[in-house]
Amino acid sequence: EPFRERIARAADAKKSPIVLALDLPTSKRNLPAFAAKTIRAVGQHICAVKMNFHLILPLSASEISRINKLVHSYGLQSIADIKLNDIENTNEVAIDHLTRMGFDAVIANPFIGKGGLAALVQKAHKAGAGVIALVYMSHPGAKEGFGLEVGGRGLYSEFLERATGAGADGIVVGATQLDILRQVAKQQLPVYSPGIGAQGGDAEQAIRSGADYLIIGRSIVEAAQPAKVAKEIQSRILLSVRK
């Protein structure tokens, strides 16, 4: 079963479109133990876990593999957020390592070009993994890159075309970019939206504007009661969808 369907099935089973960004602060002593504790606490309220440099840099491949096994034992998918943005060969080596560690998908930057993105998607699909392409990031400076005017239109719309053309499994558009979310909602690719809470975006607004999955980190991970916060967001979204 392709990644796109695996994560849709997980979201359906958990009744949650939340992708937990497992971004642990550097001050945490025992990162693998804290990661496991967080997954156990919120596993019922999310459909996937996303790991970024917060864990991928300090942990060993076997420590990451163990976390991915735990993620899978909860019926969740695992996404590597390293925003691949390199030459074809390097991207392919990265996909090899990531899939061996148990990741189900990787986030990539269409800046590498049509051919590079297509090669990356092909390589990932052969390994049973998915690719999610950046289209418009959530931070204030995103307009200086993704929003650049190229040939009379925003670079992001070119990136969206590249993602579709390459057969990517989803796109990233910030929850802080509601206009862009509304624009891309018309297309066929699932939209992953970060920037909720800590970066000022709102979960319900993002869903209403066209987000399919919500990537949420600090507001859950750093909460005194992560499960409570995750559950609250989950039920708020379910209500807003029903309206």
Q: Does 215 bind ligand NUP (CB under 6 A)?
A: yes
Residues 133-162 that bind ligand NUP (CB under 6 A): 137-138
Q: Does 216 bind ligand NUP (CB under 6 A)?
A: yes
Q: Does 194 bind ligand NUP (CB under 6 A)?
A: yes
Q: Does 198 bind ligand NUP (CB under 6 A)?
A: yes
Locate 24 and state its tokens.
């642990």
With H, G, I as helix, E, B as strand and everything else as coil, classify residue 164. helix
In angstroms, what is the minimal distance from the CB of 137 to ligand NUP?
3
Q: Does 23 bind ligand NUP (CB under 6 A)?
A: yes
Nearest alpha carbon to residue 146 among 83, 52, 215, 78: 83
Number of residues near ligand NUP (by CB under 6 A)? 20
| Given 124, 163, 172, 181, the residue binding ligand NUP (CB under 6 A) | 172
Cα(26)–Cα(142) distance, integer angstroms: 25
The residue (of 2 and 200) whose beta carbon lies closer to ligand NUP is 200
Give 179-186 contacts, CB < 8 A, sequence gap 24+.
180/135, 180/136, 180/156, 181/206, 181/209, 181/210, 181/211, 182/209, 182/210, 183/157, 184/135, 184/136, 184/160, 184/210, 185/209, 185/210
Cα(218)–Cα(190) distance, integer angstroms: 23
* Set 14, 50, 69, 83: catalytic member: 83
| Given 102, 170, 197, 210, the residue binding ligand NUP (CB under 6 A) | 197
Q: Does 15 participate in catalysis according to the annotation?
A: no
| Given 52, 68, 91, 234, the residue binding ligand NUP (CB under 6 A) | 52
Phi-psi group of 128: left, alpha or beta (phi > 0 → left; psi -120 to 50 → alpha; rest → beta):
left
Q: Does 48 bind ligand NUP (CB under 6 A)?
A: no
Q: Does 218 bind ligand NUP (CB under 6 A)?
A: yes
Residue ranges in the chain assigned as alpha helix (H): 3-14, 31-42, 53-56, 61-73, 88-100, 114-126, 155-166, 178-184, 203-209, 218-221, 226-242
Residues 96-135 that bind ligand NUP (CB under 6 A): 107
List interacting residues with ligand NUP (CB under 6 A): 21, 23, 52, 81, 107, 137-138, 172, 174, 194-199, 215-219
Residues annotated as catalytic (active site), given as ranges: 83
